[in-house]
Amino acid sequence: MSAFATERAVAIDAVLQASKICKTVFNTLVTSDTLVKKDKSPVTIADFSAQAVANTLIYKVFPNDQIVGEESSEDLKGDSGKEMRDKVLSLANSVLETPLSEQELLEVIDRGTYAGGSTGRMWTIDPIDGTLGFLSGEKGQFAVGISLIIDGVVHLSVIGCPNYPVDFKNPEGEKGVAFIAVKGQGAFQRKYSSTEETPIHMAEISSTSEARALGSLEADNADHDEHGKIASLLEMTKEPLRMHSMCRYCAVCRGDANIFIRLPYNVNYEEKIWDHAPGSLLVAETGGVVTNMDGEPLNFTLGRTFGKPNKGFVIAHSNIHAQVLEAVQKVMYNK
């Protein structure tokens, strides 16, 4: 049996079950009225339910491991949290073999409140990455991401993208893809509908002029101007691929796009490790490099975040990463 085979199987199961809950929530709780009112409660319910399921499945097999999750149970407690608590409990129990009690639900969600650190085994769980993508339906991209970090190094990652096309060239075809990586073992993708896995690699391009970048979906996003300047320096002319969530890591890692840059417009915002740990290993195992804007590797030993100041992220194939990083630094540091 290969290293981390059990962890790999548990993480895949957790991602698939959490994804199932997310789809159920969207189909039953997201309505046109919800969207008009910009009501985020369905996302909150899906977040809690998916984290409860993922934490339960991981804790069952690895009870001594720590978990860094996005949610805590505070908003589900007491009379004020009863309505949401009941919905979350029902959703979580709909996919778990052994039903949770109310108290067990709160406890298992709070297993994700570990503070992080530089030693030991810890899992990161992002139950829904990409709120707007989740709320926008079948065409919107959101992800469920899980990673295992040991002594500050990411050893395993699974990212589930329920709405992502199995074949990017056929966007109206089958959707639902899980991306899997184990350190030193390469990276793979599988359809939600099948256990068969196929290896994936970043697309090797000889020049940045051939590259397609990933961009933000928000038309008024402040980074469009800087991204345009970076693209100009790199002689890139292809229209960016725009989507939400860590699905963007997956898009680069299987060659649907080539460059993913996340610029740090709010230097005081602390990026969360659960948003980037799964994708960083996927990139490394498909021929790419992830650094911050200073060219430093990502540091997962600082706690639940990367700390301040926010230095953004630069992701590209190893053949072009240095060139992309140079262009980013030229635009961002020579204002």
Q: Which element (helix H / strand E) includes 23?
A: helix 5-29
Does residue 132 register a pLDDT over 60? yes
Range 55-66 average pLDDT? 98
Per the annotation, binding residues for Mg(2+) are 70, 126, 128-129, 275
Give me the pLDDT at residue 323, please: 97
Q: What is the pLDDT of residue 32?
A: 73
Tell me the C-alpha distance between 53 and 91, whole Å.
Answer: 9
8 Å CB contact between 128 and 144: yes
Known binding-site residues equal 70, 126, 128-129, 275
For residues 252 and 259, what is the distance between their CA atoms, to the nearest angstrom? 7
Known catalytic residue at 131: yes
* Full strand arrangement of the beta sheet holding 175-182: 66-69, 121-129, 143-150, 153-165, 175-182, 187-191, 197-199
Domains of the chain and any CATH numbers? 5-199 (3.30.540.10), 208-334 (3.40.190.80)
Tokens of residue 239, six digits = 């229209």
Active-site residue (options: 44, 56, 124, 131) = 131
> Residues in the chain, how many?
335
Which pLDDT score is estimated for 181? Answer: 98
What is the rounded CA–CA span in Å between residue 247 and residue 235?
25
User: Within 13 Å and on the Cβ side, how many CA atoms surround 195?
Assistant: 3
**In whole angstroms, how large is the CA radius of gyration of the chain?**
19
Tens of pLDDT, residue by residue over 239-298, are: 999 998 999 999 999 999 999 999 998 889 999 999 999 999 999 999 999 999 999 999
CB–CB of 136/105 below 8 Å?
A: no
Tell me the pLDDT tens digit for each residue of 21-59.
999 999 999 887 776 667 788 999 999 999 999 999 999
* Banded pLDDT at 206 (limits 50, 70, 90): confident
Residue 335 is predicted with a pLDDT of: 58
Predicted local confidence at residue 223, as pLDDT? 58
Please give the full DSSP string across 244-261, using - where no structure is assigned: -STHHHHHHHTTS-SEEE
The dihedral through the CA atoms of 303, 305, 309, 310 has a sign that is: positive
Beta bridge partners of 126: 145
pLDDT for 317: 97
Catalytic, out of 47, 124, 208, 286: 47
Residue 56, CA distances (Å) to 22, 64, 92, 139 in order:
16, 13, 10, 30
Is residue 219's pLDDT more than 70? no
